[in-house]
Homo-oligomer: A and B are copies of this chain.
Amino acid sequence: MTKTAELAAKLRGLDINDMYENDFFLTWDKSDDEIAAVFAVADALRDLRERNISTKIFDSGLGISNFRDNSTRTRFSFASACNLLGLEVQDLDEGKSQIAHGETVRETANMISFMADVVGIRDDMYIGKGHTYQKEVADALKEGYEDGVLEQKPTLVNLQCDIDHPTQTLADLDHVIHYFGGVENLKGKKIAMTWAYSPSYGKPLSVPQGVIGLFTRFGMDVVLAHPEGYDVMPEVEEVAKANVTKNGGSFTKTNDMKEAFQDADIVYPKSWASFAAMERRTELYGKGDFDGIDKLEQELLAENATHKDWECTEEMMQLTKEGKALYLHCLPADITDVSCKEGEVAASVFDRYRAPLYKEASYKPYVIAAMIFLAKVKDPATALEELEAKACNRKEF
């Protein structure tokens, strides 16, 4: 039995009817079966592509990306996912478009989606804004479809918002599952999601939030560590706690990086801005107070600089389980003496984990493709089986 056949069989046992014609905003909107389905489809698509079997399910159609913040890896992951399924990518570059002319979200959402099967949005800059914007777009697309404006209802994929970064954390988790040889082996494993020092400012909270909201579903011991004041959104901590109540494991917090690293199986040291600071920033933004934003930035950078000891050094790594915890990062990392003078991680640690880090990133295109596949295909298990049976070459000759 091939890997794809196994995964299709597994998929058939999952309750995933609600994924069809639906969107993907936050991992905690999704049931355990739905999360499992994303991994099953992602791994099957990868297996097929590795065997040079085409996974195109669209002969034409567009994938629209809207990046309201800079991006390389997510941009290319989205493009790769669309291409894998047969969709052509069109970027909505708001600089070039008439959105600057005061156009409403609803109108633009429709105008770009006449032939769109998926709309991917990254909007992570302002607390309380990104997720709300994505919801508005999704509502507009649903209405446009019902009104006969759009020939199909595009699925919305969250490519990072102020709350969650599901394509990242699911790629991280798929990597972890493969590393530990199966999702069943995660139970009891300790993961340290910790803040780390970076000379840059205002990094989104969606990664730490996404990690605590997702990894607590698998019976793991999830520790969130950060200096005082660098809290994440309380709602997401509630999600983590509820997960633990349901699935076992634990969710704890500490202001001590060493405590978090102690005996950890996995470490995820990464800089972020505090929730409270980001809320102040959103308020200033709302008032158009850009001087205030600049001042806040200086203040936060100064505050950050008091925590330069939050670095993932060799000494810190020695504290982890047998000194060999799996090191995760969403990339790019701020590497001490490489990309900056003092950063999140020591060069020697980063170097040792480079290949696994790249592998971690390589799951993202498949995770995004799986989200689209599950939203667009009514019977994904059969579809995977038929793709495998047809076995069209991805590359001829």
Contact A359 B147 (CB under 8 A): yes
Residue A395 lies at the interface, judged by CB distance under 8 Å to chain B: yes
In the complex, what's the smallest C-beta–C-beta distance from A383 to chain B, in angstroms? 4
Q: A216 within 8 Å of B by Cβ?
A: no
Instruction: Assess A80 versus B382: contact at CB under 8 Å? Given A98-B71, A144-B358.
Output: no
- Segment from A53-61, A187-195, A272-280 that makes contact with B: A53-61
Contact status A58-B359, CB under 8 Å: no
Closest Cβ–Cβ distance, residue A202 to chain B (whole Å): 13
* Residue pair A58, B149 in contact (C-beta under 8 Å): no
Question: In the complex, which residues 354-390 of chain A have their Cβ closer than 8 Å to any Cβ of chain B?
Answer: 354-355, 358-359, 361-362, 364-365, 376-380, 382-383, 386
Contact yes or no, A107 B331, CB < 8 A: yes
CB of B84 within 8 A of CB of A60, answer: yes
Question: Contact at A104–B338, with CB atoms within 8 Å?
Answer: yes
Is A133 in the interface zone, CB < 8 Å from B?
Answer: no
* Nearest chain B CB to A148 CB, angstrom units: 6
- Spot the interface stretch: A29-37, A86-94, A236-244, A293-301: A86-94
Contacts of A115 in B (CB 8 A): 49, 79-80, 83-84, 365
Q: Is the CB of B97 within 8 A of A70?
A: yes
Judge if A182 is at the interface, Cβ distance under 8 Å: no
Q: Which residue of B lies closest to A360 (CB)?
A: B149
- Tell whether, in the assembled complex, residue B147 and residue A114 are in contact, meaning their CB atoms are under 8 Å apart: no
Q: In chain B, what residue has the closest Cβ to A106?
A: B354
Docked Cα-Cα span, A92 to B75, in Å, equals 10
Q: Mark interface residues in A48-76 (1 if CB within 8 Å of B CB, else 0).
A: 01100011111111101001001111011
Are A58 and B103 neighbours in the complex by a CB distance under 8 Å? no
Cα-based distance from A89 to B79 in the complex (angstroms):
10
Q: Does A117 contact B (CB under 8 A)?
A: yes
Q: Are B392 and A59 in contact (CB under 8 A)?
A: yes
In this complex, what residue of B is CB-closest to A100?
B70
List of B residues within 8 angstroms of A88 by Cβ? 79, 83, 88-89
Give Cα A396 to B382, complex, Å.
Answer: 11
* A200 located at the interface, meaning its Cβ lies under 8 Å from any Cβ of chain B in the complex: yes
User: Knowing A112-B76, A115-B80, A362-B114 touch, does A340 contact B102 (C-beta < 8 A)?
Assistant: yes
Partner of A339, one of B59, B70, B101, B110: B101
A108 interfacial by beta-carbon distance below 8 Å: yes
State A150–B77 Cα separation when bound (angstroms): 12
- A86's nearest neighbour on chain B, judged by CB, is B60
Known pairs A56-B396, A67-B96 / 18 extra A-B pairs, C-beta < 8 Å: A49-B115, A49-B151, A54-B59, A61-B394, A62-B83, A73-B98, A75-B97, A76-B114, A80-B115, A101-B200, A101-B339, A102-B339, A107-B332, A110-B361, A147-B355, A147-B359, A149-B358, A149-B362
A residues sitting closer than 8 Å to B (CB atoms) are: 46, 49-50, 54-62, 64, 67, 70-73, 75-77, 79-80, 83-84, 86, 88-90, 92, 96-104, 106-108, 110-115, 117, 144, 147-152, 200, 331-332, 334, 338-340, 354-355, 358-359, 361-362, 364-365, 376-380, 382-383, 386, 392-397
The 8 listed contacts between A and B (C-beta, < 8 Å) are A56-B396, A59-B392, A62-B79, A64-B76, A72-B92, A73-B98, A101-B200, A149-B358
